Amino acid sequence: MNGFKQFLLRGNVVDLAVGVVVGAAFGTVVTSVVKDLLTPFIAAIFKQPDFSAIKFELNGSKFLIGDLANSIVSFVIIATTVYFAVVLPINMLIARARRQPPADPTTKRCPECISEIPIQARRCAFCTSDLTQ
């Protein structure tokens, strides 16, 4: 039982649970904004009293175009918000963390023959010129 309790109280599980709950609440808010604010605005443009009621029938089957449009608008708003509020900042932090200062050089060029030689070398292995000067 202790192992299960440690698993549940580990940061990843708790963070994921909080993220799911907040995400569901955010999805509900966005759906409400689309249904209660954007849909009436778009419906006023198309002179339709209820945008979500736009539908057509084909052989007795109802195709609810308005509900589909509401879902698409909700998805686009949620996806855009998640991208700009979560993904973009995380990617910037990861990119900043990956930038490392350049490593100290391990080689140098011989002033006589322009060959790459170890930085501690006192004599060039290619032209045997003295580098201690």
Comparing 125 with 37, the larger pLDDT belongs to 125
Say how far apart CA 108 and CA 30 lie, in whole Å: 60
For residue 118, the model assigns a pLDDT of: 92
Comparing 92 with 42, the larger pLDDT belongs to 92
Averaged over 79-87, what is the pLDDT?
Answer: 83
Say how far apart CA 108 and CA 126 lie, in whole Å: 13
**Mean pLDDT taken over the chain:** 82
pLDDT digits (tens, 9 = 90+) for 98-109: 887 777 888 999
How many alpha carbons lie under 13 Å from residue 13 in its C-beta half-sphere? 7
Averaged over 98-126, what is the pLDDT?
Answer: 87
Say how far apart CA 100 and CA 116 lie, in whole Å: 24
Task: Kindly tell me if the per-residue pLDDT of 43 is higher than 90.
Answer: no
For residue 72, the model assigns a pLDDT of: 84
Residue 51's pLDDT band, with cuts at 50, 70 and 90, is low
Scanning the chain, the segments in alpha helix (DSSP H) are 2-9, 11-33, 39-45, 65-82, 88-98
For residue 133, the model assigns a pLDDT of: 66
Superfamily of domain 2-98: Large-conductance mechanosensitive channel, MscL; domain 1 (1.10.1200.120)
For residue 53, the model assigns a pLDDT of: 72
Averaged over 28-38, what is the pLDDT?
Answer: 81
